[in-house]
Amino acid sequence: MNKLAKRLTWIAAGAAVGVAVAKLSKKRGARSADPQGLRHSGTTVLETERLILRRFTLEDAEPMYQNWAHDPEVTKYLTWPPHQDVDVSEEIIDSWVSQYEKGNYYNWAIELKELGEPIGNISVVQRDDRARRAHIGYCLGKDWWHQGIMTEALGAVIKYLFREGYLRVESRHNVKNPHSGDVMKKCGMQYEGTFKGYEWDNSGIGDAAFYAILKEDYENTKGGACQ
């Protein structure tokens, strides 16, 4: 090969490497941070003193049904009916599992470490990524109410969502279900007002009390009571 041919081969090889590197960094960039500053890591494992928050698997159908989803007392202020049998739980978990590959899907099983089973769930039920706002929903089996479990779970989720790049975490509850608001308050969320006749759940149409916390306030108060 003469000198010119050698030089042309080197230039071609260099260009190919350059294209590959550019493609890779573009891919990495898209995954690590979108234009709105969200990381989109999705449902990753979070651990607290008593809990592991993790993705659902199909094996969770039985404990989901037994521990909370069959119980009309648990679903009284929720929008879905109690599950009639374990197949309903399996179907819903199947639909959740298929969404886990999306980086913007946040839906955790709340596993109690000492039990080794999920006893409820906590998820982002609405998002506005341009406003960097996430709206949380949660529920827990009756056997574990009033032991600080949801406060522990919500605290971990708020912390994680702010790390993900969200600037506002909010939630709301039927005013007839005030303990849900107590959980929000305990996690440093501020009451923002009540919308009359705003929503329906299994108890009928009711007034909704709204709560939220902004990232800047969270950082100023070092995470409120939930740290």
Ligand X SMILES: CC(C)(COP(=O)(O)OP(=O)(O)OC[C@H]1O[C@@H](n2cnc3c(N)ncnc32)[C@H](O)[C@@H]1OP(=O)(O)O)[C@@H](O)C(=O)NCCC(=O)NCCS
* Residues engaged in binding ligand X (CB under 6 A): 74, 77-78, 138-140, 145-151, 173, 177, 179-180, 182-183, 186
Coil, helix or strand at residue 222: coil
CA distance between the termini of the chain? 68
Closest CA to 188 of 216, 146, 147: 216
Closest approach of Cβ 76 to ligand X, in Å? 7
Closest approach of Cβ 41 to ligand X, in Å? 25
Kindly tell me which of 164 and 201 has the beta carbon lying closer to ligand X. Answer: 201
Closest approach of Cβ 67 to ligand X, in Å? 11
Residue type present at position 35:
P
Closest approach of Cβ 136 to ligand X, in Å? 9
Kindly tell me which of 38 and 77 has the beta carbon lying closer to ligand X. Answer: 77
Closest approach of Cβ 112 to ligand X, in Å? 11
Q: Which residue has the closest beta carbon to ligand X?
A: 182
Kindly tell me which of 68 and 166 has the beta carbon lying closer to ligand X. Answer: 68
Kindly tell me which of 7 and 179 has the beta carbon lying closer to ligand X. Answer: 179
Kindly tell me which of 6 and 146 has the beta carbon lying closer to ligand X. Answer: 146
Distance CA 31, CA 154 (A): 26
Q: What angle do CA 179, 160, 58 make, to 5 degrees?
A: 80
Distance CA 21, CA 196 (A): 56
Residue located via tokens 């032991």: 147
CB neighbours of 14 closer than 8 A, spacing ≥ 6? none
Closest CA to 78 of 216, 198, 200, 187: 200
Backbone phi and psi for residue 158, each to the nearest 5 degrees, phi listed first: -60, -50
Closest approach of Cβ 202 to ligand X, in Å? 10
Kindly tell me which of 61 and 183 has the beta carbon lying closer to ligand X. Answer: 183
Helix ranges (H only) for the chain are: 3-32, 61-64, 86-97, 149-164, 178-186, 215-220
